[in-house]
Amino acid sequence: MIPEKLLISLEHIKNYDADAFKSIHEQNSPVSIRLNPNKNSHIYHSENKVGWCEYGYYLAQRPSFTLDPLFHAGCYYVQEASSMAIAQAFKQYIPNEPIKILDLCAAPGGKSTLAATYMPEGSILVSNEVIKSRVKILEENIIKWSDERVIITNNDPKDFEKLPQYFDVIIVDAPCSGSGLFRKDKNAINEWSESNVNICSGRQQRILDSAIKSLKPGGFIIYSTCSYSIEENETITDWMVDNYKLISKALVLEKKWGITAIETTQKNHGYRFWPHQVKGEGFYLSIFKKEDEELQKNYLKESPKWTVIKNKAFEKLTDFISLGDEFGYIKIKDEYIAVPYKDLTELGILADKLYIKKAGITLGKIMGKDFIPDHALAISRLLPLHVNKVELSLEMALDYLRKNNIYIPSEHTGWNVVTYKQIPLGWIKAMKDRTNNYYPKEWRILK
Ligand code: SAM
């Protein structure tokens, strides 16, 4: 039962249709995935595409993603379709040049993996989550997506005020009252209340205030919620334009997509996704450009805190990595990490102000005389071609992902990468009569 107070509050909003809205909530949610263009995702083919995002596909029914090895390999992200519309903000507004992007409310990683796909070459993405317990799932999804340009941080939005005018693009996919997900998540219905809508609205303003300070003049902010409430959507859009040097921007949309373009009270642009009109869940999106003005700070003058390692220990890694000058190597605690060389300066600037949870691609660590390669390396594009690969059947791949003790014959003793449909799943260490399974314990499938 959708709360009556919510239904009443929606009555005068453009394209709201009470009967259609209620009856769509009695149907199942559409199932959609977004492909990872870096992982041979052509394996998935369907005519049923998400109109506003070329990597998005609808599936006829919900498969068991857990039992699909390619899900664990990061070939696709399971994401409801409306959220993929952030792609249009990127395609229509983001300049094709190296930029710095912040995804401020990032866990579990839907918008970050999307931003990584659409961000121009040479860019960096800071994927931030304030709630510590949610950083784990963000980290898992980002590692599986395998993009060396993503930096994960665990900071409060306020901390980003220490980086004034730093980012070119900021995504604020704000915590909200969640009414847009009622169809998918019945618990959200019980948690909904008018007072929570107001609490969320205040929180959204506080998050945005920090975000806007950290946005470069001329930069873009993408704001979204999965709420239907005006207080969290149109009101916030108007509040942003009224209180900051922001200009509301319009998107060009195809009519057949069914997205509702809204004009707010102050004549700003917003986009509503009604589930009775789009094939997706409830969603709201608005885009803003910060007015141009002189930059107050030159970050490049600040010296980076991270130095590239070139010591003897590093020589042990060379069997595993044959990367060009494009990468610099750093060591954090006992792990060796590859980061695009040009990002090291930015990493230094960021590390000075934020808590960095992960950057680049973790290559591995040295234990005694041995180099233990990291899972992230096995599934990334940095995996050297000469590493031996062993193709697994579906049954064996699932056994591997369950971290079972399995014997996988290989002609090459030592480190091998196991694959399924030629896509790397992770490391094994092959011995004559036994195999060590190096799939990360915390990610093993329990089904
Ligand atoms: N962008 C994510 C995605 O696409 O997968 C979903 C983000 S979810 C709508 C909002 C996120 O904001 C949650 O991960 C939540 O933990 C985080 N959050 C909660 N309170 C917050 C706060 N006060 N400041 C910043 N983020 C907060």
* CATH code of the domain covering residue 162: 3.40.50.150
Instruction: Indicate the pLDDT class of residue 54, thresholds 50, 70 and 90.
Output: very high
Single-letter amino acid code for the residue at 284? Y
Instruction: Indicate the pLDDT class of residue 320, thresholds 50, 70 and 90.
Output: low
Q: If we measure between CA atoms, which residue out of 141, 127, 128, 105 comes closest to residue 225?
A: 105
Residue 295 lies inside a defined structural domain of this protein: no
Domain identity same for 349 and 441: no
pLDDT of amino acid 129: 98
Contacts of 209 (CB under 8 A, 6+ apart): none
Encoding tokens for residue 236? 């916030």
Encoding tokens for residue 402? 């369950």
Instruction: Indicate the pLDDT class of residue 212, thresholds 50, 70 and 90.
Output: very high
Residue 92 lies inside a defined structural domain of this protein: yes
Domain identity same for 156 and 239: yes
Q: What does the alpha-carbon distance between residue 430 and residue 447 come to, in Å, rounded to a whole number?
A: 25
Ligand 1 pocket by C-beta < 6 Å: which residues?
83, 105-111, 129-131, 134, 157, 173, 175, 203, 207
Domain identity same for 158 and 231: yes
107-123 per-position pLDDT tens digit: 999 999 999 999 999 99
* CB burial readout 377-392, b (16+ within 10 A) else e: bbbbebbeeebebbeb
Q: If we measure between CA atoms, which residue out of 178, 233, 236 comes closest to residue 209?
A: 236
Domain identity same for 348 and 273: no
How many domains is the chain built from?
3
Instruction: Indicate the pLDDT class of residue 304, thresholds 50, 70 and 90.
Output: low
Report which DSSP code applies to 280. Answer: S
Q: What does the alpha-carbon distance between residue 111 and residue 65 come to, in Å, rounded to a whole number?
A: 19
Domain identity same for 379 and 425: no
Encoding tokens for residue 171? 């995504």
The mean-pLDDT minimum among 96-100, 282-286, 324-328, 386-390 falls in 324-328
Mean pLDDT value across the chain: 93
Token look-up 């799943």 returns 425
Q: Which domain holds residue 405?
A: 388-447
Contacts of 154 (CB under 8 A, 6+ apart): 128, 129, 130, 132, 135, 355, 357
CB atoms within 10 A of CB 19: 8
| Domain-ending residue, one of 259, 290, 321 | 290
Domain identity same for 206 and 284: yes
Distance 172 CA to ligand 1 centre (A): 8
Residue 63 lies inside a defined structural domain of this protein: no
> How far does CA 305 lie from the centroid of its chain?
26
Atom nearest to 131 CA in ligand 1: 16
Distance 33 CA to ligand 1 centre (A): 21
Residues facing 172 on adjacent strands = 223
Cβ-in-10-Å burial (0-12, 13-18, 19+) of 350 comes to buried
Q: If we measure between CA atoms, which residue out of 249, 265, 158, 247 comes closest to residue 208?
A: 158
Q: Is the pTM of this model over 0.85?
A: yes
| Domain-ending residue, one of 290, 317, 334 | 290
Residues facing 153 on adjacent strands = 128, 356
Residue 69 lies inside a defined structural domain of this protein: no
Residue 107 lies inside a defined structural domain of this protein: yes
Distance 284 CA to ligand 1 centre (A): 15
Domain identity same for 210 and 352: no
Encoding tokens for residue 428? 């094994």
Residue 74 has pLDDT above 90, yes or no: yes
Domain of 306, CATH number, reads: 3.10.450.720
Residue 304 lies inside a defined structural domain of this protein: yes
pLDDT of amino acid 306: 63
Token look-up 């000075």 returns 352
| Domain-ending residue, one of 290, 324, 347 | 290
Peptide bond into 275 cis (omega under 30): no
Closest CA to ligand 1's atom 4:
110
Mean pLDDT to the nearest integer, 27-39? 95
Residue 57 lies inside a defined structural domain of this protein: no
Instruction: Indicate the pLDDT class of residue 47, thresholds 50, 70 and 90.
Output: confident
pLDDT of amino acid 384: 86
In order, the DSSP letters of 100-167 are: EEEESS-TT-HHHHHHHHHSPTT-EEEEE-SSHHHHHHHHHHHHHHT-TTEEEE---GGGGGGSTT-E
Mean pLDDT to the nearest integer, 204-219? 97
Mean pLDDT to the nearest integer, 38-48? 74
The answer to whether the beta carbons of residues 360 and 388 sit under 8 Å apart is: no
Residue 20 has pLDDT above 90, yes or no: yes
Q: What does the alpha-carbon distance between residue 323 and residue 315 come to, in Å, rounded to a whole number?
A: 13
Mean pLDDT to the nearest integer, 304-317? 59
Domain identity same for 280 and 169: yes
The pairing of beta strand 167-173 with beta strand 215-225: parallel
pLDDT of amino acid 186: 86
Contacts of 370 (CB under 8 A, 6+ apart): none
What element of type H or E holds 240?
helix 234-243
Domain identity same for 263 and 363: no
Closest CA to ligand 1's atom 11:
105
Alpha helix ranges (H) inside 244-298: none
pLDDT of amino acid 416: 96
Q: Is 53 in the active site?
A: no
Pocket test for ligand 1, best of 102, 113, 131 (most atoms within 8 A of CB): 131
Q: SS3 for 261?
A: strand
Distance 129 CA to ligand 1 centre (A): 7
Residue 66 lies inside a defined structural domain of this protein: no
Domain identity same for 437 and 378: no
Domain identity same for 92 and 220: yes
Domain identity same for 251 and 357: no
Residue 36 has pLDDT above 60, yes or no: yes
